[in-house]
Structure 1
Amino acid sequence: MSAYVEALIQRRLERDRLRELIEDAEAGHGPVDQAAVEAKRAVLRKDTAGSADAA
């Protein structure tokens, strides 16, 4: 149980840190372009689908 709680805490800390990094980046560079994010996700999904087919 202790290892499970530790993993949850670590994930929460990682998410909090990631949120801070995103906020800092947006403060310096402006908000994220959602169209660009979706385009990158589409590329990653195709790569993932391709590697799943190869396995």
Structure 2
Amino acid sequence: MDSAEQCSKDGSPTQKVSVSMSAYMSAAVERQIQRDLLEELLQAKEAEIGPPSPDVQEWAAEIFGEAESMAANKPAGDTSTRLFPWTR
């Protein structure tokens, strides 16, 4: 019996759970790769032009704070990634 056909201890099928876990793990790996690449790009740019000014750091902190706040207030199951709710 392959993993797609296995049943849980109570006899219910587990196919949907394993497919969902696989999709979840794939998405998590993709996000980490994107973050790693972004970090490399930011480090290269900082080496090229120097660190951001205090004004830019303040602006970035404000923007990222707003984005985190919006992400924390998403309804359960909402997987949208729009940062600005007024855009479609």
Query: Could you state the TM-score of these two structures normalised by the residue count of structure 1?
Result: 0.66
Cα deviation for residue 5 of structure 1 reads: 0.1
Question: What TM-score, normalized to structure 2?
Answer: 0.44
Deviations along 1:1-55, one digit per CA (max 9) or x if unpaired, are 000000000000000000000000000000111322323646xx6xx5xx4xxxx
Could you tell me which runs of 5 or more consecutive residues in structure 1 were left unpaired when the two chains were aligned.
none
How high is the sequence identity, in percent, across the aligned residues?
A: 36
Structure 2 unpaired stretches of 5+ = 1-20, 67-83
Q: How many residues align?
A: 47
Choose between structure 1 and 2: higher helix proportion: 1
Q: What residue number does 1:17 align with?
A: 37
RMSD: 2.6
Deviates more, 1:14-23 or 1:30-39: 30-39
Larger Rg belongs to: 2
